[in-house]
Amino acid sequence: MKDALVHLLLTQPLPDAIDQQLEANYVVHRLYQQTDPNRLFDEFGPLIQGVVTGGAKGLDNATMDRLPALKIIAISGIGTDAVDLVHAARRNIAVTTTPGVLTDDVADMAFGLLIATLRRMSEAEAVLRAGRWPQTQLPLAHKVTGIKLGIIGMGQVGTAIARRAEAFRMEISYHSRTPRPALPWRFVEDLHALAREVDVLMLAASADDGKAIVTASVLDALGAEGFFINIARGKLVDEAALLDALKHQRIAGAGLDVFVNEPHVPEAFFTLPQVTLQPHRASATQQTRLEMGEIVLRNLAACFSGETPPDKV
């Protein structure tokens, strides 16, 4: 039964089946459909008790503070870097995520980008689609099987990527805040050393402390033969340095699902044939988004029946 007292704010669309369940149980306000968000906040801000948002979108403090009755920020995603957890805790607002269910999709996308980039698939497809195959001599690509892969971040996603890499007989090493001796892969304490020795540097770290770790000097260490793949967060990379390294062929190529200022991507990327680009799609499958949505529903239900949401961070 619809509890007319509970108002929710959605910052981005959810799968239809999830949206329908929200509609059936709550009063739903859709921020992404508003031409004048201020009106929504003025009229309903004091009533809104729950926000459903994405990992990259999160909720900024100014918006949080326009919602005085807020009890829960339910993230449909695993990243909490776009929510100020300290600020939320101070206001006694629960923050929840959707752990576990998107790991495989993100690792699959990481591999898709790796293969597409090393094999120059975007560039070759663009030639074919433009009808230029007959007159084009494409450069040879880079072999994928057996390469040296360096993974930054060895959480669930990093581990899933490494498991896939084993099937491709890659030589796997990783850098992370803490070594994980139970895992079979080689830990490298110095990120520059890791970048120097691998063919592909794969970024799979969380962005909780918000600062760029893949800097100009890390890209220089990766070098002109090295490729960079990012399925984590744009802000973990010095994007200007990445563009510069690509433009001047100081690295060989990049596969990117994430950017600093999404959904806006520096146009300079579009003209680089050695780059594969995706608009933050790593978890964007019907199956996974549905599972993520179910977890959001269970966290909201727990919160509004006075229980601790099961996926509270």
- Positions touching ligand 8YV (CB under 6 A) are 54-56, 76-79, 102, 280, 282-283
How many angstroms separate the Cα of 59 from the Cα of each of 84, 88, 167, 270? 8, 10, 39, 29
Active site residue 280: yes
Least distance from ligand 8YV to the Cβ atom of residue 107, Å: 12
CA distances 13 to 20, 114, 252, 262, 276, Å, are: 11, 29, 36, 16, 26
From the list 30, 66, 192, 262, the catalytic residue is 262
- CA dihedral sign, ordered 279, 281, 87, 21: positive
Closest by CA to 91, choosing from 63, 121, 125, 126, is 63
Q: Shortest Cβ distance from residue 194 to ligand 8YV (Å)?
A: 24
Q: Which is nearer to ligand 8YV, 18 or 191 (CB)?
A: 18
User: Which residues, 6 or more positions from 73, have their beta carbon under 8 angstroms from its beta carbon?
Assistant: 50, 51, 53, 58, 59, 64, 83, 88, 93, 94, 95, 96
Whether residue 233 lies in the annotated active site: yes
Q: How far is the CB of 78 from ligand 8YV (least distance, A)?
A: 4
List CB contacts of 231: < 8 A, sequence separation 6 or more. Answer: 106, 109, 110, 113, 157, 202, 203, 204, 257, 258, 282
Q: How many residues does this entry show for the chain?
A: 313
State the maximum Cα–Cα separation within the chain, in Å, rounded to a whole number.
Answer: 67
Residue placing its CB nearer to ligand 8YV in the complex, 78 or 218: 78
In the bound state with ligand 8YV, the residue whose beta carbon lies nearer, of 12 and 249, is: 12
In the complex, minimum distance from the CB of residue 247 to ligand 8YV, in angstroms, rounded to a whole number: 27
Q: Which residue is nearest to ligand 8YV (CB)?
A: 55
CB closer to ligand 8YV out of 76 and 276: 76
Residue 55 CB, nearest approach to ligand 8YV (Å): 2
Nearer of residues 17 and 224 to ligand 8YV, judged by Cβ: 17
Q: How far is the CB of 176 from ligand 8YV (least distance, A)?
A: 18
Q: Which of 239, 280, 289, 291 is catalytic?
A: 280
Question: 22 or 102, CB closer to ligand 8YV?
Answer: 102
From the candidates 233, 239, 289, 291, which is the catalytic residue? Answer: 233
Q: Which residues are catalytic?
A: 233, 262, 280
